[in-house]
């Protein structure tokens, strides 16, 4: 369910006309629906009702403070992968006891910061990280609660760049050697072993990889119990996909039911880290057509958004539906929707059947709420976009558009380069 719809041929987000927002804030911009975000979180959380669980929203998918606050107000926690995301989560009001810290390359200062805040759990990705955290915890006199991220060697059947559960990937500890590392962790005096963590990838559209991974983790937990290593938290990560094009991912209720059946008889709290499934279809990227261009072989529709604003199409070849903000009677053509950046890879949709947009028209790139702004950059010295949140019949600027002054923040010309300038 999402709240982007047409009324009399005009796209609305909840009760606000999208073109009215564009007239006031300019283009391009990211636009989110509060009702959709709240609804999706509630549906996911309810899928695990009746069993101890904590839904920790994956901040990397959309880390805007207002977005995080929505889920925090609904009782959720936050899954982080950096010190910056920890700072964001705390600024948004997250309780440290509902924050889990994942990621393969945590710096010493980040580990100290998280220990100072007394977060719920560190998901450890390597033996060396285990030893480093133990040392830092000892120096600080604060024991660290940890889980080991185990790699179950399960093919998630998704794009290779967002697949994380196979032996050849950089993530986690091979499930076959995990018992050895758990023994080590149990012996380290400044660590408290409390959990097992597993995350096999993103944008999964089948249940089987989740279930296969869970079964392998259950076998590991059984072996750990035999070693008197008791597991209180089972972190299954995130990864449930959404529909961008023709995908048919399972509904969260179906996903939850399958997980609940596999967990029968287990005495631990389940931690879930959804991201895309909550925010993906709750946001769009609105852009304006600047020019059209036709060659002997191709049609190009040039818009004011670009690959620096939405990297997924150029990075992954990802699909985002292209819809007019105002519907008109017009032909459809096979064209590429491209931006102003000086790269051949700067496209938002390539060789697709779409309306024959004309300069000045507004275009919506759908399903852009996840890994949209969070992956954006200032490439070509382009200021990053504003983010807008609609609540019923009002909209709020939850991130202002960057200015040229923002682009050079922190930069300095050293004295030896001083000269007349211009």
Range(s) of the domain holding residue 306: 4-31+280-407
Which CA distances in Å does 377 have to 240, 263, 341, 373?
Answer: 26, 41, 12, 8
Same structural domain for residues 284 and 360?
yes
Which CA distances in Å does 107 have to 82, 83, 196, 342, 346?
Answer: 9, 9, 21, 35, 33
Same structural domain for residues 152 and 294?
no
Map residue 358 onto helix, strand or coil: coil
Report yes or no on 416 lying in a domain.
no
Same structural domain for residues 123 and 231?
yes
- pLDDT recorded at residue 164: 42
Give the pLDDT confidence of 166-213 residue by residue, as tens digits. 444 445 688 778 899 999 999 999 999 999 998 877 678 778 888 888
Nearest to 202 by CA among 125, 110, 315: 315
Handedness of CA 65, 68, 72, 74 (dihedral sign): positive
pTM of the model: 0.93
Give the pLDDT confidence of 29-65 residue by residue, as tens digits. 999 999 999 999 999 999 999 899 999 999 999 999 9
Report yes or no on 120 lying in a domain.
yes
Per the CB < 8 A criterion, the answer to whether 357 and 289 are in contact is yes
Same structural domain for residues 8 and 41?
no
Structure-block tokens of residue 192 = 């408290």
Question: Which residues have a catalytic role annotated?
Answer: 342
Q: Average of pLDDT values for 256-285? A: 92
Same structural domain for residues 209 and 297?
no
Q: How far apart are the first and last CA of the chain?
A: 56
Same structural domain for residues 230 and 340?
no
Report yes or no on 412 lying in a domain.
no
Number of domains in the chain: 2
């Amino acid at each position: 369910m999402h709240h982007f719809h047409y009324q009399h041929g005009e796209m609305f987000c909840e009760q606000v006309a999208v073109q009215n927002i564009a007239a006031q804030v300019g283009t391009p911009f990211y636009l989110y629906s509060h009702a959709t975000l709240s609804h999706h979180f509630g549906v996911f959380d309810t899928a695990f009702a009746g069993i101890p669980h904590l839904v920790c929203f994956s901040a990397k998918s959309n880390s805007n403070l207002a977005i995080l606050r929505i889920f925090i107000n609904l009782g959720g926690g936050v899954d982080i992968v950096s010190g910056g995301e920890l700072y964001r989560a705390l600024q948004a009001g997250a309780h440290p006891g509902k924050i889990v810290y994942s990621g393969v390359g945590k710096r010493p200062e980040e580990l100290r910061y998280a220990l100072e805040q007394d977060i719920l759990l560190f998901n450890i990705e390597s033996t060396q990280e285990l030893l480093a955290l133990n040392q830092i915890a000892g120096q600080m006199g604060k024991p660290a609660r940890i889980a080991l991220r185990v790699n179950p060697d399960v093919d998630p059947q998704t794009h290779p760049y967002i697949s994380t559960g196979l032996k050849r990937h950089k993530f986690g500890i091979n499930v076959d050697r995990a018992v050895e590392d758990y023994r080590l962790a149990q012996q380290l005096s400044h660590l408290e072993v409390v959990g097992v963590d597993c995350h096999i990838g993103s944008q999964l559209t089948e249940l089987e990889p989740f279930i296969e991974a869970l079964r392998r983790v259950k076998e590991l937990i059984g072996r750990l119990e035999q070693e008197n290593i008791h597991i209180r938290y089972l972190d299954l990560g995130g990864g449930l996909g959404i529909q961008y094009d023709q995908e048919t991912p399972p509904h969260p209720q179906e996903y939850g039911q399958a997980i609940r059946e596999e967990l029968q008889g287990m005495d631990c709290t389940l931690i879930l880290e959804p991201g895309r499934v909550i925010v993906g279809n709750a946001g769009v990227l609105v852009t304006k057509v600047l020019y059209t261009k036709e060659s002997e072989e191709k049609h190009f529709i040039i818009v004011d958004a670009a690959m620096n604003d939405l990297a997924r199409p150029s990075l992954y070849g990802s699909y985002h539906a292209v819809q007019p903000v105002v519907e008109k009677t017009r032909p459809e053509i096979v064209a590429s929707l491209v931006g102003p950046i000086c790269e051949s890879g700067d496209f938002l949709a390539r060789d697709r059947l779409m309306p024959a947009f004309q300069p000045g028209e507004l275009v919506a790139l759908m399903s852009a709420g996840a890994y949209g702004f969070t992956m954006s950059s200032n490439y070509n010295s382009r200021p990053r976009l504003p983010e807008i949140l609609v609540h019923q019949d009002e909209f709020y600027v939850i991130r202002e558009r960057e200015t040229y002054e923002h682009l050079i923040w922190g930069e300095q010309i050293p004295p030896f380069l001083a000269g007349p300038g211009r």
